[in-house]
Structure 1
Amino acid sequence: MDKVTTRFTDASLLPSPDSRRAPLIKRRDLKMARSPHAYVRGNTAQYYDWLHSLPGQRLPRGPAIWICGDCHVGNLGPVADAQRKVQLRLRDFDQATIGNPSHDLIRLGLSLASAARGSSLPGIVTAHMLQHMLLGYQRAFFPGHEEIFVKPQVVKTALRQAQQRSWKMLARERAIDGRQTIQLGKNFWPISAAERSAIDEMFADPAILARVTGGEVGDTSRRPVVVDAAYWVKGCSSLGLLRYAVLVDYNGARRLIDIKEAVAATSPRYRRASMPRDNAKRVTEGACHLTPALGERMVARRFMERGVFIRELLPQDLKLEIEQLGIEDAVLTASYLAYVVGSAHARQMDAGTRHAWLTELMGKPAKSAGAPHWLWHSVVQLVASHEAGYLEHCRKYAMSE
């Protein structure tokens, strides 16, 4: 059943634009307390601290390419290109940076291991998942595997649902009512007059809409009309940043636009790498390298003296949700998701760089069959530290409710 936001008849019951911070932080803390997997997804700081530590600095050193930086399971999902062809791809680039591709592998391994523990799978399954994760990643470096790769059931289901979705379904999920307004409630809060004015001013430029819609809007001389806008309470680690859902009318068609604040990346980067200093431009450039189908319909702008990036929300764009994993599907899922990440990495390398990176990746094999020593021990250390951190987090925040 589609989730629909409950409408509040009295907007005064919702936080005002000046009092958002405290309830947003509280919601983030409670959301992270739901499960170990939710804690891993929302707690990037602990992972980045580990990467900067001595164990984190002993990883294979890969080529300087764009990496996701926060490559957990929830940051992958179905993505539609301009022709509405849907494929599973990376879909979140807030932490995108030019750095070591092994960081994406370990973050994905930690996320998958947490999902396995949440599904009460035995430890041997996690060992097999990490082994097949690396095999799937390697397969991405040899073209021609996309069509013959066996997709796990969770991916098949997500792609099928995405392909079948319509604007009406998106509107119902995002609480857009029959009057074509965004319903205020749990997930959508009021905005200030200054915020609304800034949004109107931004969309006075038709070129923005032309970019984020892939040029489908046609005549860009006509000015888009902002029908409604609301502050969007969404995500976990990004709660507290500027985030808006904007309903725009253009030539009689409704489009739902996402505006999100870009802040400095905390994911480690290669020091001599040249990247845009503007964080919104960094995010959009990273997206263009990692998932061109999404990056090519994103645009960076200044908004209320902050950098934001803008994209249209298509019905086909979904987050991959993994509630429960079976033993067989867990291994297939690990392999396929790593293949998706590997494809995003490999497209940025020439043949020589690909060969050198794969050689480095497997340069220190484990003493027994399975994942390389560096991958296995990194994930084990991180699972242990995050498990302890999760329990402390629950004691500190959840018990006070």
Structure 2
Amino acid sequence: MSKYTEPQERQAVLTATRQLKMAQSTHAYVRGNTARFYQWLDASSVADAIPQGPAIWICGDCHLGNMGPLADSRGEVAMQIRDLDQTVIGNPAHDLVRLALSLQTAVRGSDLPGVVSAAMIEAMADAYEAAFLPEADDAPAAVPEPESTVVRVVRRRAMRRRWKHLARERIADARPTIPLGRKYWPITADERAALMALMEEPAVRHLAMTAFDSPEDSVLTIHDAAYWRKGCSSLGLVRYAVLVGIRDRDDENGDGRERLGLMDVKEAVASVAPHAPGVTMPDTPADRVVAGARALSPNLGERIAAGTMLGKSVFVRELMPQDLKIEVEQFSRKEAIASARYLAGVVGKAHARQMDVSTRAEWHATLADSHGPTLDAPRWLWRAVVELAALHEAGYLEHCRAYALGGKRAA
């Protein structure tokens, strides 16, 4: 029996893996079920109270796992939104609600009392609104890093990481190959040929040359490529890891040092998030992801390009060792509130940098005017989180029932 998944087996394995991941906790279910959030948005009377903010690029799936430290092309690290698969030009309030839901389910999974959820929502509203004040700016210092939280820990770990750490995780021994196994699966000859063609597309080739600070006429070699099993809600979409090497063209004998790097190739599909009426969206799903990344997450935006492969719209990004996601097993009370404040501020900055001064002021006024008499947070945000938390808890239990019964039948 093969130790890794063959191409003809991929879809069944990916579907089963996604179901298993979503059954692990309510928080995992929220992460893996973006569509349910927008179904609620279409049907709930509570959703009608969410204010319509200015039409800007939003994440569309702004949960805890889609945020983390990102390096720019020079290796400078900042906490930003790291996954833009669902990005659209839409209502910024949707990002705030989805992040609040994600944090709420993480807090409840840590067995913290409901009063922590209330304090967390207040902290989120305060930090998010502060991003639109006239004195706010786009500098990293505008969002003070919380002390002794999981956010601070992951950011510091990211800043210590170098290429050798990424290579140790992704590359087999000293040879430039990707080790096949649980995460990396073999690809077909057609896929390999398509990846080689993709890497020669002008936008993708330019990205690779820029990433390695190399002349445009440098020689690009694909040393290895593999199908990459990664993610949760995106499991089932085509994804590859590509190990490339770049050498100066005048190095005819190959005596010079070859620069190795990893590229992530991922299928882009239509977003489930609604875009604002009357706006013109990019022509392809990959172009949409690239445009959203450049607007929301500058560090990622300069390291991503759109292309096509085997008739699919794909985007390509350079993998950096500092790129990590926030993974939380347990929150303490202090960590939950501090992390919520910080991450809401990061999202607020991503939104605010797309607005002029007057638009920021108008959006700030709209948010500030909706605070309640007993909770220092917008009433609509609290009501939305309460209803969404109940909806997703029920959906999670139904998912677990269906998953458990399915497993018994399969057995």
Determine if the TM-score, normalized by the shorter chain, exceeds 0.5. Answer: yes
User: Aligned equivalents of 2:207 and 2:36: distance in 1?
Assistant: 36
> What displacement does 1:146 show?
4.3
The question of whether the paired residues in 2 share the 8 Å contact of 1:204 and 1:223 is answered with no
Q: Which moved more, 1:390-399 or 1:188-197?
A: 390-399
Q: Alignment partner for residue 44 of structure 1, among 28, 31, 34?
A: 34
- Residue 154 of structure 1 pairs with residue 150 of structure 2: yes
CA deviations over 1:231-287 (Å, ceiling 9, x no partner) = 000001111111000000112111000000000001011121111021100000000
Match of 1:118 in 2: 109
**Residue 50 of structure 2 aligns to which amino acid in structure 1?**
L
Q: Which runs of 5+ in 1 are unaligned?
A: 1-9
Match of 2:241 in 1: 245
User: Aligned equivalents of 1:330 and 1:213: distance in 2?
Assistant: 41
Change (3 A) 1:191 1:47: same
Match of 1:271 in 2: 277
Match of 1:70 in 2: 61
Identity %: 49
Alignment of 1:1-400 (within 5 A): 12-53=2-43, 54-142=45-133, 143=136, 146-147=140-141, 149-152=144-147, 153-205=149-201, 208-212=204-208, 214-251=210-247, 252-398=258-404, 400=407
The question of whether the paired residues in 1 share the 8 Å contact of 2:46 and 2:383 is answered with no
User: Aligned equivalents of 1:67 and 1:345: distance in 2?
Assistant: 7
> What displacement does 1:58 show?
2.5
> What displacement does 1:296 show?
1.6
> What displacement does 1:64 show?
0.4
SS at structure 2 position matched to 1:260: strand
The question of whether the paired residues in 1 share the 8 Å contact of 2:22 and 2:28 is answered with yes
The question of whether the paired residues in 2 share the 8 Å contact of 1:213 and 1:297 is answered with no
The question of whether the paired residues in 2 share the 8 Å contact of 1:205 and 1:223 is answered with no
User: Aligned equivalents of 1:169 and 1:56: distance in 2?
Assistant: 44
Match of 2:251 in 1: none
Match of 2:250 in 1: none
User: Aligned equivalents of 1:207 and 1:50: distance in 2?
Assistant: 38
Change (3 A) 1:136 1:301: same
The question of whether the paired residues in 2 share the 8 Å contact of 1:60 and 1:102 is answered with yes
> What displacement does 1:57 show?
2.9
Change (3 A) 1:59 1:213: farther
> What displacement does 1:326 show?
0.8
Match of 1:3 in 2: none
**Residue 289 of structure 1 aligns to which amino acid in structure 2?**
A
> What displacement does 1:213 show?
5.9
Change (3 A) 1:233 1:370: same
SS at structure 2 position matched to 1:147: helix
User: Aligned equivalents of 1:174 and 1:234: distance in 2?
Assistant: 13
**Residue 141 of structure 2 aligns to which amino acid in structure 1?**
E
**Residue 168 of structure 1 aligns to which amino acid in structure 2?**
K
CA deviations over 1:26-64 (Å, ceiling 9, x no partner) = 100001111111111001111010111233232111000
SS at structure 2 position matched to 1:224: strand
SS at structure 1 position matched to 2:192: helix
SS at structure 1 position matched to 2:216: coil
Give the total of aligned pairs. 391
Using the size of structure 2 for normalisation, the TM-score is 0.91
Q: Which moved more, 1:165-174 or 1:88-97?
A: 165-174
**Residue 321 of structure 1 aligns to which amino acid in structure 2?**
E
Match of 1:6 in 2: none
User: Aligned equivalents of 2:48 and 2:308: distance in 1?
Assistant: 35
> What displacement does 1:13 show?
4.2
User: Aligned equivalents of 1:193 and 1:278: distance in 2?
Assistant: 26
User: Aligned equivalents of 1:77 and 1:147: distance in 2?
Assistant: 16
**Residue 237 of structure 1 aligns to which amino acid in structure 2?**
S
**Residue 111 of structure 1 aligns to which amino acid in structure 2?**
S
> What displacement does 1:111 show?
0.3
User: Aligned equivalents of 2:301 and 2:14: distance in 1?
Assistant: 28
Change (3 A) 1:180 1:146: closer
Q: Which runs of 5+ in 2 are unaligned?
A: 248-257
**Residue 176 of structure 1 aligns to which amino acid in structure 2?**
A
> What displacement does 1:16 show?
2.2
The question of whether the paired residues in 1 share the 8 Å contact of 2:66 and 2:82 is answered with yes
> What displacement does 1:14 show?
2.9
The question of whether the paired residues in 2 share the 8 Å contact of 1:206 and 1:220 is answered with no
The question of whether the paired residues in 2 share the 8 Å contact of 1:130 and 1:376 is answered with yes
The question of whether the paired residues in 2 share the 8 Å contact of 1:42 and 1:236 is answered with yes
SS at structure 2 position matched to 1:337: helix
User: Aligned equivalents of 2:4 and 2:212: distance in 1?
Assistant: 36
> What displacement does 1:209 show?
3.8
Change (3 A) 1:97 1:133: same
The question of whether the paired residues in 2 share the 8 Å contact of 1:141 and 1:354 is answered with yes
SS at structure 1 position matched to 2:122: helix
